[in-house]
Amino acid sequence: MTQTSESVTWLTQAAYDQLKAELDYLSGPARTEIAMKIAAAREEGDLRENGGYHAAKEEQGKQELRVRQLTQLLENAKVGTAPAAEGVVAPGTLVTIAFDGDEDDTLEFLLASREYASSDFETYSPQSPLGSGVMGKKVGEDAEYELPNGKKAAVRILAVKPFTG
């Protein structure tokens, strides 16, 4: 199956290693720890009124959700720099925009998954309103995206360059 660039998450090697280490911990030692907490709380008696048991079960649920998220993310991850046509907004690029065409009101951000851990830049997901609005645009083009209040915002693409880590 061919993956589209929107379904691929580009990660640096350091970000991949960090997320993999978190997954290994959560699916190994952390699972053992939470199972021991649940067993200890279960021994305390009536489970209907056992706050420690319910808290441990809730923690287990959150932990298992994170394991599933990390597993899916790492299965779709590519390590390295995203291939991008020069000057075209794509995942793995640093994008500089001007709000409402005002070149004094600018923002430089990395278009990548929010899991992109080793970035010194603000990061926007390709699926976010801003990310999807600028995706595929070229330097000098205008883009529009929807704000949380339902209004539209306009930006102009000032610069696009591959993120090299």
Domains identified in the chain, total number: 2
pLDDT tens digit string along 38-61? 998 888 877 777 888 888 899 999
Q: What is the pTM of this model?
A: 0.53
pLDDT tens digit string along 89-99? 888 788 999 98
Classify residue 3: in a domain, yes or no: no
CA distance 24 to 46: 33
SS3 (DSSP) at 145? strand
Domain that holds residue 107: 93-162
In this structure, are 67 and 23 located in the same domain? yes
Classify residue 74: in a domain, yes or no: yes
Distances (CA, A) of 44 to 34, 41, 55, 56: 16, 5, 14, 13
In this structure, are 102 and 53 located in the same domain? no
Q: How many residues does the chain have?
A: 165
SS3 (DSSP) at 25? helix
